[in-house]
Chains A and B, each alone.
Chain A
Amino acid sequence: MGAPDRATIFPALAAILAGAGATLALLLAETQWHVAVVALAGVAALLIGGRAGFGDAIHRSVASHHRVTSATSWLAGAVVVFLLREHNFELLMLCTVMLYVLAGLGLTVQFGFAGVVNFAAAAFMGVGAYTAAVLMTSTGLPHLVVVLAAGVVTALIGSVLLLPLLRTRGHYAALITIAFGILFRTFLEVNDTLGGPQGLKVPGLQIFGYAFNEAIEFDDETEWSFYTAYAGVFLVVLGLAYTLVRRVERSWMGLALDAVRLDETAASAFGLNGAAWKIAAFSFGNFLAGIAGALYAILTAFIAPASFTFGDSLLLLSIVILGGLGNPLGLLPAALVVVVLPEKLQVIQEYRFLLFAALVILILLLRPGGLMPRRAREYFPGRSS
Chain B
Amino acid sequence: MTHLLEVSGLSVRFGGVRALDGLDLHLDEGETLGLIGPNGSGKTTSFNTITGFVLPAGGTVRFAGEDITAQPPRHVARRGIARTFQRLRLLTELSVFDNLMVGQHLTLDHGIWANLLGRGRLRGAIARQTDEMRTLLRHFSPTLPDRLHEPVSALTMIDRRRVEVCRALARSPRLLLLDEPSAGMTPDETAELMRDLQNVKAARPSLAVILIEHDMAVIERVSARCVVLDYGRKIADGSYAEVTRDPAVRRAYLGEEADA
Contacts and interface: CB of A to CB of B under 8 A. Distances in A.
A270 B106 contact: yes
Contact of A384 (B108, B119, B149): B149
Contact of A263 (B91, B123, B130): B91
Nearest to A251: B115
Given A376-B151, A377-B98, A272 B105 contact: yes
Nearest to A262: B91
A378 B149 CA distance: 9
B130 A385 contact: yes
Contacts of B95: 376-377
Interface stretch (B6-14, B20-28, B73-81): B73-81
A267 B126 contact: no
B110 A253 contact: yes
B123 A380 contact: yes
B44 interface: no
B126 A379 contact: yes
B214 to A, nearest CB: 22
A273 interface: yes
Interface string B91-104: 10111001001111
B144 interface: no
Contact of B171 (A244, A259, A266, A270): A270
A29 B210 CA distance: 69
Contacts, number: 94
A271 B77 contact: yes
B116 A272 contact: no
B82 A269 contact: yes
Nearest to A244: B116
A380 B121 CA distance: 12
Contact of A248 (B74, B98, B115): B115
Interface residues on A, range: 20 to 34
Interface in A342-385: 376-377, 379-380, 384-385
Interface string A229-266: 00000000000000010011001110110110011011
Nearest to A254: B115
A379 to B, nearest CB: 5
Interface residues of B, number: 39
B81 to A, nearest CB: 9
A25 B149 CA distance: 39
Contacts of A263: 89, 91
A251 B98 CA distance: 10
Contacts of A256: 105, 110
A268 interface: yes
Nearest to A273: B74
B51 interface: yes
B40 to A, nearest CB: 21
Contact of B101 (A255, A265, A273, A384): A255
Contact of B93 (A262, A379, A380): A262
B106 A255 contact: no
B122 interface: yes
Contacts of B102: 255, 259, 266-267, 270, 272
Interface string A310-329: 00000000000000000000
Contact of B85 (A266, A379, A385): A266
Given A266-B89, A269-B73, A247 B105 contact: no
Given A251-B115, A380-B123, A265 B77 contact: no
A5 B95 CA distance: 28
Contacts of B1: none
B109 interface: yes
B7 to A, nearest CB: 18
Interface of A: 244, 247-248, 251-253, 255-256, 258-259, 262-263, 265-273, 376-377, 379-380, 384-385
Name the 4 nearest CB pairs between A and B, nearest first.
A266-B89, A251-B115, A271-B77, A271-B106
Interface of B: 51, 53, 72-74, 77-78, 82-83, 85, 89-91, 93-95, 98, 101-106, 108-110, 114-116, 119, 122-123, 126-127, 130, 149, 151, 167, 171
25 contacts: A247-B116, A248-B115, A252-B108, A252-B109, A252-B122, A253-B110, A253-B116, A255-B98, A256-B110, A258-B94, A258-B98, A259-B91, A262-B91, A262-B93, A266-B102, A269-B85, A270-B82, A271-B74, A271-B78, A272-B74, A272-B105, A376-B95, A379-B122, A379-B123, A380-B123
